[in-house]
Amino acid sequence: MKFILTAAVFTLLMIAGAPAQDPLYPELVKAENRLKAMFEELYEREAKEVDSLLNEIQGYMEEVLMLDGAMEFPWSKLDRIGVRTTEDGKVRIFTWHVMDHPEKYRYFGFIQVQGKRDKLSLFPLLNNGLAQRGIYRLDQSTSNWYGKLYYQVLTHQVKRKTYYTLLGMDFNNSLSNIKFVEMIQIQRNKPVFVKNGFSNGRDVVDRVVLEYSDQVSMSVRYDRKLEMITYDHLVPMHPVYQDQYEFYGPDGSFDGLRFTDGTWMLQEDIDARIQN
């Protein structure tokens, strides 16, 4: 089942830990151990019994993620959720989910921001619960968030602007999954979702949306050798299923996105065999 497989999706990247001489380090270790136990309990409970624990987790995370040293602390024991840190160490994203039933998933998260003068800010990601199929243009924010699990974060610098590209996944329902590519910037110490950041040469949209059958797998990842985000080209399994994305799957070819001056430009039918 998709719910069982999520731990494997989020194998954490190890980063350097907080210095042991930090007086709050033992408190952070204690907090990490408690959160690890809470998430393990969360995924052992029946769906109807998770809400009280979810509230407890969210409240506790709001507290401990604002402690001194919380941004440098690796949180590497939280292997049941996604913890992704930007290459410049200024942004970290926590995301997780629960499955109420195979047709309904709920997503939760926080974004940590290390601002000027080392000011630490924390922003809850509040899932609006709206359907995501085919939504390429949207007013998305931390308080109006289209829920997903972020599994990769890329950092690009263009002159004095920094762009963070987020690769994410929504388990959607029992028939299809959806993968996304979207961007944020930090403006006045606050994460803001970038609009008009993706172009196919004709249209400009706010994000990439790739929906496909639950019965197949498809890859969306950054290839450092190609310096591109590469992904399987999706087609209907039979022409009669045109625009019915629960019947879409890879055809063996690849498309890609190349970052150019703040915009991801589509390149179709690329040679991505190097990633295999």
Tens of pLDDT, residues 159-202: 999 999 999 999 999 999 999 999 999 999 999 999 999 999 89
Residue 69, pLDDT score: 94
Backbone torsions φ then ψ of 73, nearest 5 degrees: -65, 135
User: pLDDT per residue over 233-251, tens digit each?
Assistant: 999 999 999 999 999 999 9
Backbone torsions φ then ψ of 42, nearest 5 degrees: -55, -45
Distant-in-sequence, close-in-space partners of 120: CB < 8 Å, separation ≥ 6: 66, 70, 71, 112, 113, 114
Query: How is residue 187 written in tokens?
Result: 């403006």
| 34, pLDDT greater than 90 | yes
Q: Are the beta carbons of 153 and 84 closer than 8 angstroms?
A: yes
| 273 or 209, greater pLDDT | 209
Q: Could you tell me how far CA 210 lies from the centroid of its own chain?
A: 14
- Round to whole Å and give the CA distance between 179 and 251: 17
Which among 144, 179, 67, 169 is positioned nearest to 112, based on CA atoms?
67
Residue 271, pLDDT score: 87
| 2, pLDDT greater than 70 | no
- Round to whole Å and give the CA distance between 176 and 160: 39
Query: How is residue 204 written in tokens?
Result: 């400009």
- Round to whole Å and give the CA distance between 249 and 237: 7
Q: Please tell me the pTM assigned to this model.
A: 0.90
| 4 or 199, greater pLDDT | 199
Q: What percent of the chain shows pLDDT beyond 90?
A: 87
- Round to whole Å and give the CA distance between 271 and 254: 7
